Structure 1
């Protein structure tokens, strides 16, 4: 018996970060299981978040950059609209080994802190990541063409038999 495994469907979003009072910028990605993206819902937690990475740069302290991974995050808050598109995304809280923490303020923003105090309020921008559509491999295409050829030949042979009977 052959069993097939299918990958969990997920939506990946590119994140961009812009600080309000300093030159903090950054990029990141978050991958969310599609089962969470249902219309008009709010989701809180980590279940279904399969990947998260955020790097902030131009920090007004040393080190001048820091990275957060999924292991650093305690929770996310995600809101969807009637089309199941993300309208608000909030990093509830995160803390990394570099001594930086991020605490959610409002959807799309969080306060980035170090051991001394608040550095900045950072705005999160979200755009769906480009996804590639898998192309059929050569053997799949060859098999499809072969089946079409046999189908056409069989149909012709069947039509010829009917014609000979008449």
Structure 2
């Protein structure tokens, strides 16, 4: 199955994000997106990773989380993040969680998340505890990674029409389907 930027915009609409406006604004800007000053992935102090690091790390984690039959992950995650990295408190939480996950990857595996193999990224998420942690935006590292990284990526996937089809949601919330889709069973 192919995920597209159109799926990303549909997912943003389904979750109530202002993705279309954010996407249009980003496409017309000249420079890279807004972000922290730390281009090194947030290694120093309380600085947050820049947008390129966040995007690369989130895309790398998505390749672990998303089913292997899905193509177009990079474009989809990029499009979804266009509407989610909007300067809000939630966006800062995403940046902080990615920065902490990246710091753990550098400490434990000697490389940032985006440079690890898929197997090592999977192992990193398990070592952090994100596979079993409850989500909590103010909790432990495992809970924050679960909330801001893992759940964010899964929300984007399953709120999209293509991702919804994977789990039998041919008409995800926020997408029209009419009464016809409710009268017949899933495909």
> Based on CA coordinates, which of the two structures has the bigger radius of gyration?
1
Instruction: Tell me which protein shows more strand as a share of its residues.
Output: 1
Using the size of structure 2 for normalisation, the TM-score is 0.22
Greater relative contact order (Cα 8 A, min sep 6): structure 1 or 2?
Answer: 2
Instruction: Tell me which protein shows more helix as a share of its residues.
Output: 2
Using the size of structure 1 for normalisation, the TM-score is 0.24
